[in-house]
A = this chain, B = another copy of it.
Amino acid sequence: MRTNILSVALQLVKDEGWQSLSIRKIADAIEYSVPVIYDHFENKEAILFELSMDGFRLLERTLEKNKKKYPNPEQLLKAHAEAYWSFAFKNPEYYQLMYGLGMPCSGIGRVKPQLNCFRDYIGQAIEGIVKEKKSSDDETCFKIYAFWSVLHGLISIVMMRCSDIDDSTMNKKVMDDTVEAFIKNL
């Protein structure tokens, strides 16, 4: 039932966007009355939170695959960037929910631990590249955020239709170039 609610909610969002997701529509879709939903979730935010966790888990699984596939840390970091970008645009509903893009923010803040877990994937790759340079932990941490910012910033800008570059491969190229430059500078 819980699972059913979540999957129906996700489907509704894919069809009509976050804006129009409502408890009543979920109830209709699972063919039960409204209060049944509250037997399984405290409130609407709890549903959104659970879905955002699904999003983080899905992303994490992709990054985990990369970790096994690319022993070279530089290739690994590039693959992570690639995977992150492609996750965002293959699952825009998830990405928007995870970072509160264009929607009331659900469980942002509570999501931090999950984020840290993901962040470590990038951190590991960066540390792999930078290890011989013996940079401090602080510096590595900064670099993780710098790298993350480039990815998240550009994805946000494109996803919110703020970019005037219409060709999506061009937007992707901006990311690729920046990632390249970032790695060269590590």
Chain A 105-125 residues near chain B, CB threshold 8 A = 105, 108-109, 111-112, 115-116
Q: Pick the contact of A105 from B103, B149, B165, B171 — CB < 8 Å?
A: B103
Find chain B residues with CB under 8 A from A58 CB: none
- Per-position binary interface string of chain A over residues 119-146, scored 1 when its CB falls under 8 Å from any chain B CB and 0 otherwise: 0000000000000000000000110011
Q: For residue A160, which residue of chain B has the nearest CB?
A: B108
Q: For residue A99, which residue of chain B has the nearest CB?
A: B160
Main secondary structure of the interface of A (DSSP, over half): helix
Find chain B residues with CB under 8 A from A87 CB: none
Q: How far is the CA of A164 from the CA of B154 in the complex (A)?
A: 21
Beyond A103-B105, A112-B162, A145-B157, 14 additional contacts (C-beta under 8 Å) are A99-B162, A100-B160, A101-B105, A108-B160, A109-B160, A112-B164, A115-B162, A146-B178, A148-B153, A149-B149, A149-B150, A149-B153, A149-B178, A184-B185
The interface of chain A, by Cβ under 8 A from chain B, is 19, 99-105, 108-109, 111-112, 115-116, 141-142, 145-146, 148-154, 156-157, 160-165, 170-171, 173-174, 177-178, 181-182, 184-185
